[in-house]
Amino acid sequence: MSDCLRHVSDRSRATADESPPTCFVLLTRGYVMWYVCRSKAMHTGINESFMGFNFLKKNNNMATINNGVIGRASGKVGAVIASSWKSINYLKGLPKKRTKGMSEEQLIQQDRFLKISKFLMPITPILQVGFGLSKTEKMTPTNVALQLNIAQAVTGTYPNFSLDYSKIEISTGSYLNGGGMEAAVDNGILSIYWDTILNSLYKTKADDQVIILVYSPEKDEFMTAPTPPTRAAGTIDIQIPAHLLGGKGHVWIFFTDRKAEKVSKSTYLGEFDLA
């Protein structure tokens, strides 16, 4: 999505008797993909789920036009589909049928995208907090996370890409984190520690929330604390489910205020034996 070019159409010159038309944003690529995870996207014209993202599907619904000469439109009009997102009206061209195979460069980019998206999509609720303050007027938090992590966390060469978990970020921001943070596993318990000292300059609070994420590559499963602890707690013990014991676990942590209006950059605490 980040490389989709958006061009604002020239405003039509309105006569004295006409209302000025609404300015649309046109996505000029030959196809449009909306990224979702394990659920169907709630959007006009998008209702076919496949491999973690949805393809735009043709339909015969008539477009609706309101408010003015062009006004707000939605649905299909000829070869374009009109929709809106965050009060921005869009016209998107219908996907063209592919007549030849993908180039090697396209295959590489697709494989890189699939590698990171399969990891990030199940943790969309966490990404909405962790990246909720980043470029939200232009991109969704999940797409911001995808753009960042595809550039820095996907390693190797095609077709054998892998993820460098130490470079994955699940949040970004300038809010103060937990200082000297550590984690350890003992007898099936994951214990995490952080500093509780408050900082008046950053206006940290005792009731700041601590978001913790654990990932098991062997089971391809994520785990979080049942209830996010507070900054004042300084520690938390998390019972590791029996089916995850014996494998490896990657751990991340970040801090946010109660309203998620301030967010810290995530910290990778390391890889641990879940014993």
Output the domain CATH number for residue 187: 2.60.40.10
Ranges of beta strands (E only) in the chain are 6-8, 25-27, 33-35, 48-50, 53-55, 64-66, 72-77, 80-85, 88-93, 154-155, 162-163, 182-186, 189-193, 209-216, 221-224, 235-239, 248-256, 267-273
Tell me if 250 is assigned to some domain. Answer: yes
The answer on 195 and 241 residing in a single domain is yes
The answer on 138 and 51 residing in a single domain is no
Tell me if 98 is assigned to some domain. Answer: no
- Band the pLDDT of 72: cuts 50, 70, 90: low
The answer on 153 and 180 residing in a single domain is no
Tell me if 63 is assigned to some domain. Answer: yes
Tell me if 263 is assigned to some domain. Answer: yes
The answer on 74 and 25 residing in a single domain is yes
The answer on 185 and 254 residing in a single domain is yes
* Residue 124 or residue 66, greater confidence: 124
How large is the average pLDDT for residues 209-222? 98
Query: Would you say residue 102 has pLDDT above 90?
Result: no
User: How confident is the model at residue 32, as a pLDDT?
Assistant: 33
User: How confident is the model at residue 147, as a pLDDT?
Assistant: 95
- Band the pLDDT of 66: cuts 50, 70, 90: low
Tokens 């054998």 map to which residue? 160
Residue 62's contacts (CB-CB under 8 Å, 6 or more residues apart) are 75, 76
For the chain, what is the domain count?
A: 3
The answer on 80 and 25 residing in a single domain is yes
- Summarize pLDDT for 15-30 with one digit per residue, the tens: 334 433 333 333 333 3
The residue range of the domain holding 134 is 104-163
Q: Does the pTM exceed 0.95?
A: no
Q: 170 forms bridges with which residues in the sheet?
A: none
Q: Residues of the chain with pLDDT > 70: what percent? A: 68
The answer on 267 and 243 residing in a single domain is yes
| CA geometry: angle 59, 28, 117, nearest 5 deg | 80
Domain boundary among 49, 65, 93: 93
Tell me if 1 is assigned to some domain. Answer: no
The answer on 56 and 129 residing in a single domain is no
Domain boundary among 130, 163, 196: 163
- Distance (Å, whole) CA 269 – CA 267: 6
Tell me if 181 is assigned to some domain. Answer: yes
The answer on 250 and 179 residing in a single domain is yes
The answer on 147 and 220 residing in a single domain is no
Domain boundary among 71, 93, 115: 93
- Summarize pLDDT for 118-134 with one digit per residue, the tens: 999 999 999 999 999 98
User: How confident is the model at residue 86, as a pLDDT?
Assistant: 62
The answer on 187 and 263 residing in a single domain is yes
Tell me if 99 is assigned to some domain. Answer: no
User: How confident is the model at residue 88, as a pLDDT?
Assistant: 62
How large is the average pLDDT for residues 208-233? 97
Q: Is 224 exposed, middle or buried (0-12, 13-18, 19+ CB in 10 A)?
A: middle
Nearest to 272 by CA among 251, 242, 244: 251
Tell me if 108 is assigned to some domain. Answer: yes
- Band the pLDDT of 267: cuts 50, 70, 90: very high
The answer on 55 and 121 residing in a single domain is no
